[in-house]
Amino acid sequence: NLTTMLLARAAAREREIAIRVALGAGRMRLLKQVFTESVLLALIGGAAGVLLALWGVELLKTIGAQTVPRLHEVNIDLVVLGVTLAICVGTGIIFGLVPGLASSRPELTEALKEGGRGSTVGTRRNRLRNGLVIAEVALALVLLSGAGLLIKSFVRLQNVNPGFNPRNALTFEVSLPKMQYPDDSSIVRFNNEAQRRIAALPGVQAAGFSTILPWTGTNSDSSFAIEGRPSDKNNPSPDEERREVSPDYFRALGTPLIRGRFFTDADNADAPLVIIVNQTFAKKFWPNEDALGKRIVMGGMSDDPKWITIVGIVGDMRHFGLDVDPKPEMYVPFAQSAYFTTIYVVRSNQDPRTLVPAIQREIQAIDPALPLANVRTFENVIGDSVAPRRLSVVLLGVFAGVAVLLASVGIYGVMSFLVVQRTHEIGVRMALGAQRSDVLKLVLVRSLKLISAGTIIGLIVALMSTHTLRALLYSVSAFDAATFALVTILLGAIALAASYLPAMRATRADPMIVLGHNT
């Protein structure tokens, strides 16, 4: 792009340079001038890039804090600035070489005719310049296609039903020390009292707890045997996800009851063993039967099995993330299988974060030594779970935006250079009766050819490479036709807009002045 813009500038100043050469200006002086302008432009661009990078690094720290370890340590230091300076100077020198050599050897006779018939740059350089623009358009389309697929996937992922209601829900952990709470009964008493106190707070609609919460990165499974289905080496006992929950756990989460009942306070250690399963569990093990009333035993069969009766079926929850299909899950009453660490869910009719001080007071009213840990809203939990995908969308989107900007600048530079090169031709056409619309069409058609070539190449490369994004896509094909069509139209519109200004400049050429300077 820098080369193209400098070539366009050199072509526009061709007559001025020719006059300086005719008056004795040396080639080195002309080269120094072009190199100075080139390096200066590169340094200005580099300075703007550093400012954007400072802002971008802070934005990246915010977006990727939960995804990239030690990201907070990333900073732009003197080493980075030094490398940036070296790259800018090198870029200015290298890409100023072609226009420098071209402008330092003008054809005096033609150049002294202002707006001469041709440029000092030959067909080979025109092809190189056009090739660079085609490559930029192709790269922009590849990146835009990837960004479009990720954005569409991310939007669909955000619309997935997690199986519970994350709005206005707070979650936190409480870990009980074994010295003060040595047995199941003491653990159950504490949690029942804590749940009762929290549920009575103003603004609280429901409160419950579990040993494992969705999207917390932990899981627990148990093997079991089904009544009437003996297990052996050829038919081993199944092994599925298991959680211990309080009676109001599902109400606090907002998970629907499909059939049967929720747990109650009567489902304690002295009561018959009961269990609730999700829909996936019921369909997997009793596809053509009603799972309610069926019995299982944890572990395996024994001479005296402790049968557990299924009393309820609840809706599926996506426990391991929005992009992971629900798995078969079992829920047992916490009072029948207690654990030291519990994770609470508190549903409120207001911002749940405002309840934290009151909840802390209620917990410490029972045990002053107990703190709340991992206090978060459930919406934050969901946000953290999709953070890697969000970071991928942002990064690829930024790269795609930069690529589109570079392609637009490249097309603008080439079209500007084309207008300068063909000034005489345009003047002749207008003198022979061509309308301004004809001149506009002439320039835009040339631009459209470059855009079309870049688009075709970009589509081929994109279709060959987007399979690498499959692991990041959810419910979107890597060859999604709608996405490819949309990004193609978008890029084409932006590229044509970049061609419009040079094309309009060409229509303002006065044929009398243009042809008068070439007589």
> With 60 as the cut, is the pLDDT of residue 132 above it?
yes
Mean pLDDT of the region 134-154:
88
Q: Which residue has the higher pLDDT, 26 or 158?
A: 158
In angstroms, the CA 374 to CA 484 distance is 42
The model's pLDDT over 445-478, given as tens digits with 9 standing for 90+, comes to 888 888 899 999 999 999 988 888 888 888 888 8
The pLDDT mean for the chain works out to: 81
Position 120 scores a pLDDT of 44
Instruction: pLDDT band for 335, please (50, 70, 90 cuts).
Output: very high
> With 90 as the cut, is the pLDDT of residue 84 above it?
no
Mean pLDDT of the region 243-272:
94
Cβ–Cβ < 8 Å for 212, 219 = yes
In angstroms, the CA 226 to CA 287 distance is 14
Least confident of 177-186, 212-221, 309-318, 482-491: 212-221
Position 115 scores a pLDDT of 46
Instruction: Please state at what angle helix 123-158 crosses helix 481-507, rounded to 10 degrees.
Output: 140
Instruction: pLDDT band for 240, please (50, 70, 90 cuts).
Output: confident
In angstroms, the CA 222 to CA 224 distance is 6
Q: Which residue has the higher pLDDT, 174 or 32?
A: 174
Strands (E), 42-168: none
> With 50 as the cut, is the pLDDT of residue 269 above it?
yes
Cβ-Cβ contacts under 8 Å for 25 (sequence gap 6 or more): none
Q: Determine what percent of the chain is predicted with pLDDT higher than 70.
A: 79
Cβ–Cβ < 8 Å for 198, 352 = no
Cβ–Cβ < 8 Å for 152, 499 = no
Instruction: pLDDT band for 299, please (50, 70, 90 cuts).
Output: confident
- Write down the number of H helices and E strands in the chain: 17, 11
Task: Choose from 63-67, 119-123, 474-478, 501-505 the range with maximum mean pLDDT.
Answer: 474-478
Position 197 scores a pLDDT of 95
> With 60 as the cut, is the pLDDT of residue 489 above it?
yes
Q: Which residue has the higher pLDDT, 38 or 270?
A: 270
- Strands 341-348 and 373-377, how do they pair? unpaired
- What DSSP element (H or E) covers 384? helix 378-385
Position 356 scores a pLDDT of 94
Mean pLDDT of the region 243-255:
94
Cβ–Cβ < 8 Å for 137, 450 = yes
Q: What angle do CA 242, 248, 250 make, to 5 degrees?
A: 55
Position 21 scores a pLDDT of 60
Task: Indicate left, alpha or beta for 516 from its phi (over 0: left) and psi (-120 to 50: alpha).
Answer: alpha
The model's pLDDT over 97-109, given as tens digits with 9 standing for 90+, comes to 655 555 555 554 4
Structure tokens at 299: 């572990």
Instruction: pLDDT band for 392, please (50, 70, 90 cuts).
Output: confident
Instruction: pLDDT band for 185, please (50, 70, 90 cuts).
Output: very high
In angstroms, the CA 319 to CA 240 distance is 13
- Sign of the four-CA dihedral 361, 362, 366, 371: negative
Instruction: pLDDT band for 118, please (50, 70, 90 cuts).
Output: very low
DSSP 264-281: -TT-STTSPPEEEEEHHH
Q: Which residue has the higher pLDDT, 418 or 494?
A: 494
Least confident of 147-161, 238-252, 320-334, 378-392: 378-392
> With 80 as the cut, is the pLDDT of residue 191 above it?
yes
Cβ-Cβ contacts under 8 Å for 148 (sequence gap 6 or more): 483, 484, 486, 487
> With 80 as the cut, is the pLDDT of residue 485 above it?
yes
- What DSSP element (H or E) covers 407? helix 387-421
Position 517 scores a pLDDT of 52
> With 80 as the cut, is the pLDDT of residue 306 above it?
yes
**Which amino acid is located at 491 in the chain?**
L
Cβ–Cβ < 8 Å for 467, 145 = no
Mean pLDDT of the region 136-157:
88
pTM for the model stands at 0.71
Cβ–Cβ < 8 Å for 258, 250 = no
> With 60 as the cut, is the pLDDT of residue 11 above it?
no
Mean pLDDT of the region 427-448:
78
Cα 167 to the center of its chain, rounded Å: 23
In angstroms, the CA 408 to CA 334 distance is 62
**CA 437 to each of CA 65, 171, 416, 443: distance values in angstroms, whole numbers, following the listed order:** 54, 66, 17, 10
Helix, coil or strand: residue 347? strand
Position 473 scores a pLDDT of 85
Mean pLDDT of the region 287-310:
86
Instruction: pLDDT band for 214, please (50, 70, 90 cuts).
Output: confident
Instruction: pLDDT band for 1, please (50, 70, 90 cuts).
Output: low
Position 140 scores a pLDDT of 87
Mean pLDDT of the region 331-348:
93
Instruction: pLDDT band for 358, please (50, 70, 90 cuts).
Output: very high
Cα 487 to the center of its chain, rounded Å: 16
